Amino acid sequence: MYPNVNQAEQFKNVAEPWVLYDSLVICPSDGMKGSEQNTTGFYTTYSTFGQQQKHTFFKSRTEGMVGLEYTNMQSADSMDFAMEVYSIGLAFVAPGVRVQGEISAGDITSIDAGVNHWFDTELPRHCSISLKINQDILCELPAMQCSPGYGMTGGGASFAHNAYQLGVDSNYLPVMNFTCTQGAPYIKNRFQFTKRDEQTGEIVPNPIKIPRTASVEMILELSDTAMAQLQSFNGPYNYISNNSNGSAIVAYPQRSIVQASMAGKRLVQQRAQYHR
């Protein structure tokens, strides 16, 4: 309370729904934009990503550094506002166009049809995720249990071409497209912080309360298996397709993401202007 100020005029925090998110990115160097290549958590190969056992979220990147598409943190290492976190989620996202390849002079020189699928469906099995507020670890989970609650859904995968000769120099262009999420992408399907109400016995939300300026981290830890496997891969490579008149194969770098999110309410100053 401020002295000599009416209670009605006191500053007041209001709770505003908010999601904090942050991303690690793996993308060939010619797909990195601006200063992304020098940003902590942006890797140009699976191998360099796999050389580090622990990767952190909410400690290194800001919206100004990598764009709102990958994080909405304003400060790299502390909370700008108090927040009640109701749920957390972790998404492993490789391109749904499963085939990635390299080209040279308009011809395919290498193809990989397995790593993208491994990234989404197996790598999460070999990782853990922890939530740390200041010095306290408040949650530890197998990564696959921390469903993001969002993502693409659909079905199926198959090679879309037979061995019919297509493309340049009789290379045929293999295509396999797939849609995948860890857990059904149902918005409530995230790891929720709950407790049992002592009076009613029902399960009710029990958010983690994070003070302003607290240090927050979600820590992704890779197992030895995951590290070894990532270090054995040569990519990532590119989307590949025929060019506009079928005379050559063209390519564009593919980008994989690991994205952590915390959803809840942030406490901010009332904006003091809305009245219907």
Partner 1 sequence: MNMPKNVLEQWSLYDTVLLRHYAGAGVNIPNVPGWFMGANPWGDCGAANDIAFFNVRNRNVGLPYNNQDARDQMPYPMKIRSIGVAMWQVHQTLDMYYNPASPYDDICPHIWMVDLPRHMSLILKVQQDERFKTIVPLCPPGYGPCGDGYGRGQPSVAVGPTNTPKDNHYSLATQGVPDSNTRWTFPTDIDVPRRAALSVKIRFSEYARDLLTWMGTLNADTFNADGDVHSWEAGIQVTLGGDRLVQQRGQYHA
- Residues that bind partner 1 in the complex, under the rule CB under 8 A: 15-17, 19, 21, 27, 31-34, 67-70, 72, 91, 93, 95-97, 150-162, 164, 166, 173, 175, 177-179, 184-188, 239, 241-247, 250, 252-253, 255, 257, 259, 261, 265, 271, 273-276
CA distances from residue 184 to 7, 77, 149, 152 in whole angstroms, order as listed: 47, 32, 7, 9
Name which of 71 and 229 has its Cβ closer to partner 1: 71
Name which of 22 and 217 has its Cβ closer to partner 1: 22
CA distances from residue 122 to 65, 125, 181 in whole angstroms, order as listed: 30, 5, 12
Q: How far is the CB of 73 from partner 1 (least distance, A)?
A: 11
Residue 60: how many other CB atoms lie within 10 Å: 20
Distance, CA of 148 to CA of 189 (rounded, Å): 7
Phi, psi of 164 (to 5 degrees): -70, 140
Q: How far is the CB of 157 from partner 1 (least distance, A)?
A: 6
Q: Enter the tokens of residue 246.
A: 């079928």
Q: How far is the CB of 186 from partner 1 (least distance, A)?
A: 5
Name which of 55 and 227 has its Cβ closer to partner 1: 55
Rounded to whole angstroms, the maximal C-alpha distance in the chain is 84
Task: Tell me: cis bond preceding 148? Omega within 30 of 0 counts.
Answer: no
Q: How far is the CB of 225 from partner 1 (least distance, A)?
A: 26
Name which of 3 and 156 has its Cβ closer to partner 1: 156
DSSP classification of residue 36: G
Q: How far is the CB of 31 from partner 1 (least distance, A)?
A: 6
Distance, CA of 6 to CA of 270 (rounded, Å): 17
Name which of 48 and 74 has its Cβ closer to partner 1: 74
Name which of 78 and 241 has its Cβ closer to partner 1: 241
Q: How far is the CB of 81 from partner 1 (least distance, A)?
A: 13
Name which of 95 and 235 has its Cβ closer to partner 1: 95
| Cβ 131 vs Cβ 124: under 8 Å | no
Q: Enter the tokens of residue 143.
A: 């990564």
Q: Residue 207: helix, strand or coil by DSSP?
A: coil
Distance, CA of 19 to CA of 223 (rounded, Å): 28
| Cβ 235 vs Cβ 77: under 8 Å | no
Name which of 4 and 158 has its Cβ closer to partner 1: 158
Q: How far is the CB of 96 from partner 1 (least distance, A)?
A: 3
Indicate the residue type of 74.
Q
Q: How far is the CB of 235 from partner 1 (least distance, A)?
A: 16
